[in-house]
Amino acid sequence: MSTKTVHSRFNKNIGDTVEGHRIIEKTVIAQPVKSFDPEKCRDGIYDYLVEVAPIVVKLTPKRGSDSDSIRATPEEMGGRVIRRVKN
């Protein structure tokens, strides 16, 4: 199981979920400040180490031939030249 760090302003406990992942470790970055003065009041800032399921990548077969496709040169295209038109 791999992990990643999630930065949040919500106070969660170990074992809870944040962003759909289970928290395995909690670090307090900034303590919350409680005050009757709204200008001095501040939420806490927390970092959570969460478990992330490994990503399974499904390989899809290439369309067409089995050989590696390489961009054709102008000589292989029969001498035709593709030009861009400027507006």
Tell whether the model's pLDDT for residue 22 goes beyond 70.
yes
* Predicted pLDDT of residue 56: 81
| pTM (2 d.p.) | 0.57
Tell whether the model's pLDDT for residue 17 goes beyond 80.
yes
pLDDT in tens, 31-79: 988 888 888 888 899 999 999 888 888 877 666 555 566 677 766 766 6
Burial (0-12, 13-18, 19+ Cβ within 10 Å), 18 = middle
